[in-house]
Amino acid sequence: MAKIPGPPSLDGLRNRIARHREKNPGGRSNSNFVRETYCLTRNEARAKAREWFEAFPKAAYWTEVESWRQLEGDRIEFTMRRLPSAD
């Protein structure tokens, strides 16, 4: 009867994560993006996102809502991301 292999070892993945964290303390990678996080009501969040897209057009600055989550009281926490310049 053939032995069924167990799950793969996670040691290699753990080592890669540890090396990455040593190179990038604080959890942020060396990204060229400008990020700003907000916590606003739903309507204010929509207005702030529109403001970013108008000031920094997506085609030139790669502007996007990087992440978002809904909090209690109809509040939205979100992070906007863009390139520092359109060049």
Q: Is the pLDDT of residue 6 over 80?
A: no
User: Which residues contact residue 33 at a Cβ distance below 8 angstroms, ignoring those fewer than 6 apart?
Assistant: 62, 81, 82, 83, 84
pTM of the predicted protein model: 0.64
The pLDDT confidence band at residue 1, using thresholds 50, 70 and 90, is low
- Domain map (residue ranges) of the chain: 34-87
Give per-residue pLDDT as tens, 39-56: 999 999 999 999 999 999
58/83 Cα distance (integer angstroms): 10
CATH class, domain 34-87, is alpha beta
Q: What is the mean pLDDT of the chain?
A: 86
- Report CA-CA distances (Å) from 34 to 11, 15, 45, 83: 33, 29, 18, 6
Q: pLDDT by residue (tens digit) across 54-65?
A: 999 999 999 999
